[in-house]
Amino acid sequence: MNIQQLYEFCLSKKGVTEHFPFDEDTLVFKVGGKMFCLTSLKEWEKGTPALNLKCDPEKALELRAEYDAIQPGYHMSKVHWNTVSLHQDVSDKMMVELINHSYDLVFKSLTKKLQHEILNSFGN
C-alpha cells in the first residue's frame, strides 16, 4: 500500500473527510467528525510509513502479540489505538482489514442520527 492507495481507500468510505488539525505533517481521516486514521506525511517520504488506527482493546493486544509492526498507539490512548508500520510483517490485505475495523468502530460510536445522515447522504 502506498500513500495514494491509502488516501483513495479512506476517502472511498462513507462520510470520510481529510484534515490537518495538528500540523502540516499529520494527515487525519475522520468520519462524523471523529478520527479513525492518522499518518505522518514525512514518514512516508522517509520510507517509514505508519498509521495510527483505532482498535478494539482485546484485539489490539492480540495483534501486538502477533505482529512486530503493530505497537501501542504513538501519542494516542494505548488501550484503544495501535500504530501500524507499513511494509513490515503486516500484509496489504491485513492493513485494509485494520483500516476497516478502525472506521467501523468509530462509525458505530456515532449517534444513530449521525450514522443515518451519513448513510443517507452517501447512499447505501
Write out the chain's pLDDT in tens, 124 residues: 999 999 999 999 999 999 999 999 999 999 999 999 999 999 999 999 999 999 999 999 999 999 999 999 988 999 999 999 998 999 999 999 999 999 999 999 999 999 999 999 865 4
- Beta carbons of 120 and 34 less than 8 angstroms apart: no
How far apart, in whole angstroms, are the C-alpha atoms of residue 120 and residue 54? 24
Q: What's the pLDDT at 68?
A: 96
How open is the CA angle 116-119-121, to the nearest 5 degrees? Answer: 100
The ranges assigned to domains in the chain are: 3-121
pLDDT at 42: 97
User: Class of 3-121 per CATH?
Assistant: alpha beta
- pLDDT, position 121: 85
Nearest 10 degrees: Cα torsion 4, 52, 17, 124: 90
3-class DSSP state of 73:
coil
